[in-house]
Amino acid sequence: MRLPLLAPLLLVLSACAQTAPPPIIDVHLHAGAGREGSPFYEVREGETPDEAFLRSFLADLDSNHVAVGIVGGPAVHAERFRQADRLIGAVAFPCTDGRDPNLQACFEDGGDWPDLAALRADAEAGRIGALGELYNVYAGVPVDGPEMAPYLALAAELDLVVLAHADAGPPPEGRTPGCCPHFDGALGNPAHWAPVLARHPELRLVLYHAFRPEFVAAAIELMDTYPGVMVETSPMTRVPAPLVHAALAAFVDAGHADRILFGSDYPGAIAESVAVLRASPLTAAQQRAALYDNAARFLRLEGEAP
C-alpha cells in the first residue's frame, strides 16, 4: 500500500524548493481538540478553539518549513488535521476508559480500541497511513500481547507505519492529572518489539523517544536485524540535550545514521527541536538526513528532495 497524499506532496515539495532553509519531515505531530487559554495559540474572534489550534498548528509547520508530517491522535481529530495536504493521518490507541493520555475522548463509541474493520477501511481509502502514537505504556498493555496482535497484523498486511512510544516516561509530574492508572514504563522498552518483528519482519516501525541508554541499546539490536525499524529522539525540548546527543551518537556509531528521523512531539516544539539537533555531534549531512532524507526514503515519497 502506498501512503496517501503523494500527489499533493509533489506540489508542496516544488514550492519548498523555491525557499530556504531546506524542508523538514516531522514524523511526530499530534492532533487534538483546541483548548481555551492554551499557551500555543490564541482564539480569534469567530473561531472555535478547535479551529484556532489547527490554524496555529499549520502556521507553525509553515514557519519551520515542514513539508510533510505524520499526525496522530484521537480518530476524529486526526482526520480533521489530516485533511491538510502535507499530513499523513494516524490513529492513536489503546486508550484508558475511553480517554487518551491528555484525557481527550478517543473513539465515538467511548471504547479504548479502534474497530478493526473500520481501521482497515480507513487505511484502504487512504485516510490513514499509520497507527499511533501507540499508548501501550500509558494503558499498561504489552505490544507483544494478544490485544495488539490483530492491529499489528493489519499494519503488516497493509504496509502501515507503526509509531511506538518507546520510553519509560513521562514521570508522574509530566502526565495530565487523572491520566493513566495502569501506566507501566517497563512496557516502553524496545525489546518488547522483538517477538512482533519476528512475526512481521517487514513491519515499518518508528520508535519514539528512544534516548535512555538501555533503550538505545535495545533499539540498536532491533535495527541491526530488521531494516524497517527507525528511531526518533523527541522530546528534544523536554529531555537534557546531552542525553539526546548521546543517543544520536550511539545510533551513528552503530551504523544507523540513515535510520534517525526528526520528530517534534509537542505543539510549538519544532524550532527548538531543530536547534537541539543542530547542536548535536551529527555531521551536517547526517543532520540533513535526519531532518528530511531518511524519512523521505522510509515513507517512500515520490520526487527528488529539494
CATH number at residue 188: 3.20.20.140
Specify if 162 maps to a domain. Answer: yes
Q: What is the pLDDT of residue 303?
A: 52
- Tell me what pLDDT residue 75 has: 85
Residue matched to cell numbers 492529572: 177
Residue 303, helix vs strand vs coil: coil
Give dist(CA 175, CA 155) in Å, integer. Answer: 28
Residue 55 burial (CB count, 10 A):
16
Query: Nearest Cα to 165, choosing from 64, 114, 233?
Result: 233
The structure's pTM equals 0.91
Domain for residue 241, yes or no?
yes
The answer to whether residue 306 sits within a structural domain is no
Range of the domain at 119: 6-298
Domain-embedded: residue 135: yes
Q: Point out which residues pair with 105 in neighbouring strands.
A: 99
Return the closest-CA partner of residue 206 out of 148, 244, 155, 138.
Answer: 155
Continuous H helices in 159-299: 194-199, 213-225, 241-253, 270-278, 284-288, 294-298
Crossing angle of helices 241-253 and 270-278, rounded to 10°: 60
> Residue 10: what pLDDT?
47
Residue 33 has a pLDDT of 93
Q: Is residue 1 part of a domain?
A: no
Instruction: Kindly state whether residue 230 falls inside one of the protein's structural domains.
Output: yes
Per the domain annotation, does 304 fall within a domain? no
Residue at 132 is within a domain: yes
Count structural domains, the chain.
1
Mean pLDDT by 10 residues, the chain (306 residues): 47 50 94 91 95 96 96 89 89 96 92 96 95 97 98 98 96 91 97 98 97 97 98 92 96 98 96 96 97 97 59
Q: What is the pLDDT of residue 9?
A: 53
Cis peptide bond prior to 213, omega within 30° of 0: no
pLDDT at 11: 47
Q: What pLDDT was estimated at residue 7?
A: 46
